[in-house]
Amino acid sequence: MEIIVCDDYDQMSKKASEIVSDIIKENPKAKLGLATGSTPVGMYENLVKDYEDGKIDFKEVSSVNLDEYVGIDKDNPQSYQYFMNEHLFDKVNINKENTHLPKEDGSLEESVKKYDKLLEEFGQRDVQVLGIGPNGHIAFNEPDDKLNMHTSIINLKEETIEANSRFFDSKEDVPKQAMSMGMADAFNAKTLLVLASGKNKHKAVEKFMHTDKIETMFPMSFIALHPNCYLIVDKQAYEG
């Protein structure tokens, strides 16, 4: 694992985008695993700039996303589909048919099965971008006695609802469930790019730096098992 400590959010975003850009330059048909949330926004801004500057081309790139809220329409500005359109897909020449997020299509059970099938067909990604929750969650795999390998419906923990309420008018508006890739799915990539920024990630980053245990109650600890993982953090996340 390579741990890179950056001065600030901008440097972290630049470093992350350089890794993704290089992967796309090397392989124009790169398969990306993407994340939402506030952490990767700067990385997406840099990727859009690289595209505008003619450095990278998304024409043949394809993508899968980690997760989506349950009960939120894809046109709702709070949906992760909307987020991806806004921050990346609408700003580059990616073929939207080659981009995928978990979505409700039939019952929740059927939707989960469909996303698993899609992930199986999509195969291994060249890179998977991951953020971490303040509680160490990966995608929406919340700390628990057992973690899912594959797609499932997750009941979001109180602390995650609290953390994500900043995007909503009130805490009550935050969905209580999400459909999320499991841990095996989330790690099915040649390279993992784990990003953490800001004081509210310090507890998790510090715990990771000081533990030598893999714990389901701390899903972030599993990134230590991946053979090619970058953990890119800013000073605030690293030092508190």
Q: Which residues are catalytic?
A: 67, 135, 137, 142
Q: Which is nearer to ligand F6R, 50 or 142 (CB)?
A: 142
Nearer Cβ to ligand F6R (52/168) = 168
- DSSP structural state of residue 40: T
For residue 85, the surrounding DSSP H or E stretch is helix 80-87
Residue 189 contacts residue 125 (beta carbons within 8 Å): yes
Task: Judge contact between 44 and 79, C-beta under 8 A.
Answer: no
Residue 130 CB, nearest distance to ligand F6R (Å)? 6
DSSP state string for 182-200: -HHHHT-EEEEEEEE-SGG
Give CA–CA dist 27/17, Å, rounded: 15
Amino acid identity at 94? I
Q: Is 231 helix (H, G, I), strand (E, B) or coil?
A: strand
The residue type found at 191 is T
Q: In the bound complex, what is the minimum distance in angstroms from residue 237's beta carbon to ligand F6R?
A: 10
For ligand F6R, the closer of residues 166 and 213 by Cβ is 166
**Rounded Cα–Cα distance for residues 148 and 141 (Å):** 7
User: What minimum distance in Å lies between the beta carbon of 120 and ligand F6R?
Assistant: 20
Q: Give the CB-nearest residue to ligand F6R.
A: 131
Closest contact distance (angstroms) between CB of 54 and ligand F6R is 29
Give whichever of 39 and 79 is closer to ligand F6R, judged by the CB atom: 39
Q: Give the interface with ligand F6R as residue ranges (CB under 6 A).
A: 35-39, 66-67, 131, 133, 137, 139-140
